[in-house]
Amino acid sequence: MEIPSARSLVWPVVRALRELGGSGRIDEIDDKVAQLEGFTDEQQQFDGRNGLELPYRLRWARTMAKKRGLVEIVSRGVWALTKDGKEVDQEEVKRRRVMHASDRRRSAMPEGTSVSSEASDEAEVVDVLDGDDDAGQAWQATALVALQAMTPDAFERLCQRLLRQAGFINVAVTGRTGDGGIDGVGTYRMSLVSFPVFFQCKRYVGSVGSSQVRDFRGAMIGRGEKGLLITTGTFTSAARAEATRDGAPPLDLIDGEELVELLREHKLGISTELVEQVTVHPEFFDSI
């Protein structure tokens, strides 16, 4: 299976953000890149050792684009083009990649040592994978490992607690055999109106597909129209399309990346000591 490298996806990420008007959520960016690059369903749904391989590489591509000053994070899960990102062309993006990687490699080598373009490419990838990632992906990965090590019922209780702290009331875990995949329900109040929201928790390493979204919606028939599907993994593009399909009750999706950000926001097992320093407390997840 041929999946483009992270560094070759930097320009597609910039293109996608331009098509989206200069900013977009992670799932919007990933879907737009897949559309612009013509990626097949097989490529988009290929599971590697890190889950879905294409979203994993796009995550690193966004980080690389950020290091080159082309994009920035403007709020949780939302990325935007910088002034440079709005103006550069593809050749300039390539030039910045070579310059960035060369500078990093030279800083670690004796003066006068030459650096080839191939070595520069390798240096950049090593820099990112070694954890030099100011987008915070190192702590995110640690948090996801802790979440995926939880038992299913503990993960359900964690989701229950997260919803409570996010403003839901009367949140109850109801998951049981024969319940059609519904793990719990809570009441969300908006001003003078409140309504039940059913939720499902999937402690996954890989991806959630469209069939699982359909099954969850089917389990809600006759009970309510608001649903929330939470996973430690990712959602395929087909799953996201199914969640907002015309003529069907829309479902909200929270993937692993958004989940750990919400846990950090509500200080559940993740704390921020300094602006750029985040600490994950695995013992918290063990205690749920």
Listing DSSP states for 200-236 in one string gives EEE--SSEE-HHHHHHHHHHHTTT-S-EEEEESSEE-
pLDDT greater than 50 at residue 281: yes
pLDDT greater than 50 at residue 93: yes
Give me the count of residues in the chain: 288
Region 12-21 average pLDDT: 94
Query: Rounded to an integer, what distance in angstroms lies between the CA atom of residue 73 and that of residue 64?
Result: 13
Region 235-246 average pLDDT: 89
Confidence of residue 98 (pLDDT cuts 50, 70, 90): low
Higher pLDDT, 98 or 179: 98
Higher pLDDT, 142 or 52: 142
CATH number for 225: 3.40.1350.10
Check if the beta carbon of residue 214 is closer than 8 Å to that of residue 201: no
In the chain, pLDDT over 70 holds for what percent of residues?
81
Region 17-30 average pLDDT: 91
pLDDT greater than 80 at residue 176: no
Higher pLDDT, 16 or 128: 16
Residue 87 belongs to what domain range? 7-133
The answer to whether position 235 is within a domain reads yes
The answer to whether position 138 is within a domain reads no
> Quick one: pLDDT at residue 175?
67
pLDDT greater than 60 at residue 154: yes
Instruction: Count up the domains in the chain and report the number.
Output: 2
pLDDT greater than 70 at residue 47: yes
Is the whole model's pTM more than 0.75, yes or no? Answer: no
Check if the beta carbon of residue 237 is closer than 8 Å to that of residue 34: yes
DSSP conformation letters of 6-24: TGGGHHHHHHHHHHTTSEE
Q: Are residues 114 and 160 in the same domain?
A: no
Instruction: Point out the domain boundary residue: 105, 133, 161.
Output: 133
The answer to whether position 24 is within a domain reads yes
The answer to whether position 2 is within a domain reads no
Indicate if the alpha-carbon torsion angle 14, 19, 24, 27 is positive or negative: negative
Query: Rounded to an integer, what distance in angstroms lies between the CA atom of residue 217 and that of residue 228?
Result: 10
Confidence of residue 22 (pLDDT cuts 50, 70, 90): very high
